[in-house]
Structures are given as structure tokens and as C-alpha cells.
């Protein structure tokens, strides 16, 4: 079964075509970028063939998706002979609000609810909806599924998702913690348990998804019970360009001093803060290390703040879970940056962590235990694959139909 996975962002569309079997294969992947800008571009990477890149004006998501579909069946760099070979389409949908605690096939009722959630994710859900509508138009017979970033965290208890603001704002405006990166947290926790031969229902796990956007989740018996992102993805850890946890009073103070509009304040906390804001040089961890190598002290400070944040959340979630059996590091940083892993897991001996610092230095982009064999708490790096989760969920929903 061939499944097209679409991740429609506000100005980009990432896609993968996967051939699903017991051993799923990536058939092609690519990205449409900077939609609506004169510098928009399209990159298509067919497995086993040359990559195709073009700068071409892509005014909207509909044009972008049609470009992708054409590339998939192109004589030269295509990977299938006709669009009929696409059996289903799985969409990454940013926000499912309180409607969706699992992935679902899309029908008009589901679409209506995704639309209702647009208020909660005004940049992302409308883009997801455009993706769904375009596919419905071009491939009307192909089943579509929605896989939500938020659904895994719908199991949070009330005490973990209610904010300390008047309760009416939850009742009337749905303001609460939702959490994101759900597909990744669920996937790496399940994958690690499979590798370790553990029953996830009996385990307490802390998953750290560390990438451009970063979040941590506390998972008890396979269910998310707390997570660091909140009403929006700006909460929790300091991230590439997002501020993470910030005293709401500080934002009010800065907004008043700088005379910021709501839009400017939004840009401030989402695009100008985090590692980029502290270091003043970059949001990218590879570049951050390079700057530190050249003696940049603010870059070093940014890295220290990040690792301290991760460690603090691990401690908090160990408290929430009343102990922890497994700490997982994933995402571009968690999978590759041994310094971040070491710093974030240092001083956790009180939790039963005996970190293997030597082994850790040699590990990059693989699934591997990085604690010592007699460590009471296991630490692991696990590679994430959100597209695979989306394709797998989509396939299962289609087969159940
Ligand atoms: P996204 O949230 O966009 O999916 P990723 O999970 O791809 O992000 O993570 C991107 C981050 O991972 C960047 O900060 C990047 O520098 C970092 N990263 C990727 N490879 C390495 C590496 N080898 N060493 C350190 N950091 C890395």
C-alpha cells in the first residue's frame, strides 16, 4: 500500500511517499518552501534517482500539492506511473483540540472539527485543511486520515492541563495545556520498549524530543500524563527561536516598553527568542557549537540554559511520575548532540541514572542505550520518524474501514 504523507505548514509542505509493508520503504520525499514568496522553491528526492530542485513561484498550497503530485508521476524523476497508485493520504494535523484523542479517517464531520480547531492553531490548521481539500479535489476516491500533534496528550489529567487563570477561559475559549509532538513522543516510547523487551503498560518514561521545536513528556503506562508545551508550542523548554517558559509579566513589561502589538509580541516569543535570542548568533545547534568553539560566551550560555532546562523538566516529570524507568532523547539534537545529552543527564544519580559518558560520545542517529548496564534508570537515544507514524496510522485506519 502506497501512502502519501503530507505535512502542510503555514508556508511549506513536506511530503513523503511510503510503500507500507512489514518493512516500510521511502519511495520519495521532498519539500515545497516559502509558499507565496517570490523565492518559493520545490525539492523532490526520489529514492534511487537524482534529486530535483527548482525555484518556481508557488502562490498557494493547492499549487504546491499539484506540483508534488506531478513530480511523483513525472516520466524522468517520478516514482509511480499514475496517481491511482496512491492508496491513501495521511495528514499531519497540528491541532485536534479536545475533539481527537487518536488519529481518524477524514469525513465532512471530522473536517468541520479540524476547522473549529483553527482558532487554536491559526497558522497551521488552515494549511492542513487546504491540504485535505486539495487532495479531495484531485484524488476524490482516495481515503485521507488526520494524525494530530495533540491527540497523544489528551490523556493528561485535569490538574496537568488547567492553567492558573479564571476557569471560564477554559470553558469559553478552550485555553488549556494541549501539548504537541505527540506522534514522536508516542513512537519513541513504544519503539524503545519494543527494543528493550519491556511492557510499556508497566513503565514510567520521560521522552525528550529535542529539535528546532522541543518538548518533554511524562508517560505512565503508555499514556501521556504531562508535557512541556502548552496551549501553543511556545511553552516549556527554551527552543531554537521560541522562548519556552517565560513569566507572563515579563512579556507584558517588554511589550509595554517596546510598544509591541500582539503580532509583534507573538514574533518576539516565537521567532526572536530562545537559543537565537540568547546567543545572538544562531538557533541551530551545530552552528552553536561552532560559535562556542570560537570562544563565543553567549553561545555557551545559550547551550547551558538549554541543557539546564531539559534536566529541570526531567526532574519535574520524575516527581510527577513518582520515579522513572526510562529517559529517551530524540529529535535532531537528542539523536545527535552528545554534549546536550551528557549535560542534560548529568547530576541525575539521585534518580538512579548511571550515564555512560564514554559510550555516549560515540553515538549518533541510532537507537541505543547510553546508560551503564547497572543503571537503575535506563537512558536511551531513539530515532524518531513522525512520517512513519502518520503512514502507519493511516494504513491501519484504511484497512479497518
Ligand atoms: P525540527 O524540529 O525542525 O524537526 P530537527 O529534529 O531536525 O528539527 O532538529 C534540528 C536541530 O538538530 C538543529 O538545531 C540542528 O542543529 C540539530 N542537529 C542536527 N544534527 C546535529 C548534529 N550532528 N549535532 C548537533 N546538533 C544537530
Residues 265, 329, single domain; the answer is yes
pLDDT at 248 over 90: yes
**Angle at the Cα of 93 from the Cα atoms of 86 and 5, rounded to 5 degrees:** 25
On whether residue 110 sits in a domain, the answer given is yes
Per-residue pLDDT tens over the stretch 60-119 = 999 999 999 999 999 999 999 999 999 999 999 999 999 999 999 999 999 999 999 999
What is the mean pLDDT of the segment spanning 331-341?
A: 97
Grid coordinates representing 52 are: 530535483
| For ligand 1, atom 4: residue with the closest CA | 211
With contact defined as beta carbons under 8 Å apart, do 259 and 265 qualify? no
DSSP characters for 136-159? HHHSTTS-EEEEESSGGGGG--HH
Query: What is the share, in percent, of the chain residues with pLDDT greater than 90?
Result: 98
Quote the CA–CA distance of 146 and 102 in Å, as a whole number.
9
Q: Is residue 185 part of a domain?
A: no
Q: Which atom of ligand 1 is nearest to the CA of 287?
A: 16
The grid coordinates of residue 183 equal: 506522534
Indicate which atom in ligand 1 lies nearest the CA of residue 340.
Answer: 25
CA distance 111 to 117: 10
State if residue 337 touches ligand 1 by the CB under 6 angstroms criterion: yes
- What is the spatial order of strands in the sheet that 41-46 belongs to? 52-55, 41-46, 25-33, 13-19, 2-8, 88-93, 144-148, 104-105
Q: Using an 8 Å Cβ cutoff, are 330 and 366 in contact?
A: no
- The per-residue pLDDT for range 18-36, each reduced to its tens digit, is 999 889 999 999 999 999 9
Domain check: are 242 and 135 in the same one? no
- On whether residue 231 sits in a domain, the answer given is yes
Q: How many domains does the chain fold into?
A: 2
Q: Is residue 123's pLDDT more than 90?
A: no
**Ligand 1 centroid – CA 119 distance (Å):** 29
- Is 50 noted as a catalytic residue in this protein? no
pTM: 0.95
200 three-class SS: helix
* Helix/strand/coil for 317: helix
- Centre of ligand 1 to C-alpha 46, Å, is 23
Q: What is the number of the ligand 1 atom nearest to the C-alpha of 384?
A: 6
Residue 331 CA, distance from chain mean position: 8
CATH code: domain of residue 201: 3.30.420.40
**106 lies in the same domain as 218:** no
Is ligand 1 within 6 A of the CB of residue 325? no
158 CB-side CA count, 13 A: 3
Ligand 1 pocket check for 332: Cβ under 6 Å: yes
- Please tell me the distance between residue 212's alpha carbon and the centre of ligand 1 in angstroms: 6
Asked if residue 73 is part of any domain, the answer here is yes
Distance CA 94, CA 267 (A): 19
Give the structural domain span for 255. Answer: 197-386
User: Same structural domain for residues 99 and 219?
Assistant: no
Ligand 1 centroid to Cα of residue 189, in Å, is 20
Cα(28)–Cα(51) distance, integer angstroms: 10
CB 340 within 8 A of CB 275: no
249 and 110 both lie in a single domain: no
208 pairs with which residues across the strands?
A: 216, 329
Element of type H or E holding 256: helix 248-258
Residues 102 and 205 in one domain: no
Write down the catalytic residue from 23, 50, 149, 267.
149
The number of the ligand 1 atom at minimal distance from the alpha carbon of 283 is 14
With beta carbons less than 8 A apart as the criterion, state whether 331 and 210 touch: yes
Cα 364–chain centre separation: 19
Average pLDDT value for residue range 305-318: 98
Q: Is 331 in the pocket of ligand 1 (CB under 6 A)?
A: yes
Amino acid at each position: 500500500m502506497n501512502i502519501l504523507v503530507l505535512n502542510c505548514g503555514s508556508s511549506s509542505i513536506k511530503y513523503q511517499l511510503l510503500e507500507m509493508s512489514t518493512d516500510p520503504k521511502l519511495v520519495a520525499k521532498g519539500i515545497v518552501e516559502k509558499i507565496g514568496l517570490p523565492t518559493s522553491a520545490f525539492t523532490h528526492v526520489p529514492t534511487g534517482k537524482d534529486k530535483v530542485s527548482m525555484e518556481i513561484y508557488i502562490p498557494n498550497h493547492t499549487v504546491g500539492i499539484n506540483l508534488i503530485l506531478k513530480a511523483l508521476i513525472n516520466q524522468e524523476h517520478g516514482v509511480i506511473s499514475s496517481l491511482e497508485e496512491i492508496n491513501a493520504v495521511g495528514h499531519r494535523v497540528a491541532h485536534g483540540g479536545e475533539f481527537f484523542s487518536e488519529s481518524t479517517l477524514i469525513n465532512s464531520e471530522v473536517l468541520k472539527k479540524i476547522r473549529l480547531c483553527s482558532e487554536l492553531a491559526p497558522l497551521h490548521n488552515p494549511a492542513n485543511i487546504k491540504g485535505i481539500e486539495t487532495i479531495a479535489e484531485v484524488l476524490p476516491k482516495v481515503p485521507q486520515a488526520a494524525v494530530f500533534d495533540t491527540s497523544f496528550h489528551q490523556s493528561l489529567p485535569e490538574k496537568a492541563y488547567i492553567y492558573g487563570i479564571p476557569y471560564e477561559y477554559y470553558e469559553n475559549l478552550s485555553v488549556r495545556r494541549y501539548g504537541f509532538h505527540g506522534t514522536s513522543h508516542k513512537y519513541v516510547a513504544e519503539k524503545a520498549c519494543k527494543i528493550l523487551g519491556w511492557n510499556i503498560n508497566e513503565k514510567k518514561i520521560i521522552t525528550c524530543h529535542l529539535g528546532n521545536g522541543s518538548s518533554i513528556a511524562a508517560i505512565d503506562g503508555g499514556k501521556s500524563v504531562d508535557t512541556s508545551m502548552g496551549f501553543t508550542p511556545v511553552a516549556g523548554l527554551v527552543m531554537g527561536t521560541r522562548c519556552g517558559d517565560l513569566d507572563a509579566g515579563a512579556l507584558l513589561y517588554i511589550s509595554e516598553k517596546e510598544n509591541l502589538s500582539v503580532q509583534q509580541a507573538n514574533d518576539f516569543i516565537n521567532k526572536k527568542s530562545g537559543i537565537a535570542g540568547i546567543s545572538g548568533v544562531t538557533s541551530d545547534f551545530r552552528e552553536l557549537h561552532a560559535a562556542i568553539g570560537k570562544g563565543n560566551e553567549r553561545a555557551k550560555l545559550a547551550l547551558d540554559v538549554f541543557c539546564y532546562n531539559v534536566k529541570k523538566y526531567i526532574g519535574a516529570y520524575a516527581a510527577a511520575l513518582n520515579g522513572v524507568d526510562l529517559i529517551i532523547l530524540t529529535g535532531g539534537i537528542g539523536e545527535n548532540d552528545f554534549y546536550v545529552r551528557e549535560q542534560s543527564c548529568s547530576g541525575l544519580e539521585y534518580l538512579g541514572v548511571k550515564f555512560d559518558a564514554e559510550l555516549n560520545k560515540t553515538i549518533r542517529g541510532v537507537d541505543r542505550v547510553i546508560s551503564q548496564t547497572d543503571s537503575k534508570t535506563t537512558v536511551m537515544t531513539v530515532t524518531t520518524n513522525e512520517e512513519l507514524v502518520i503512514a502507519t496510522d493511516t494504513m491501519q485506519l484504511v484497512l479497518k474501514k
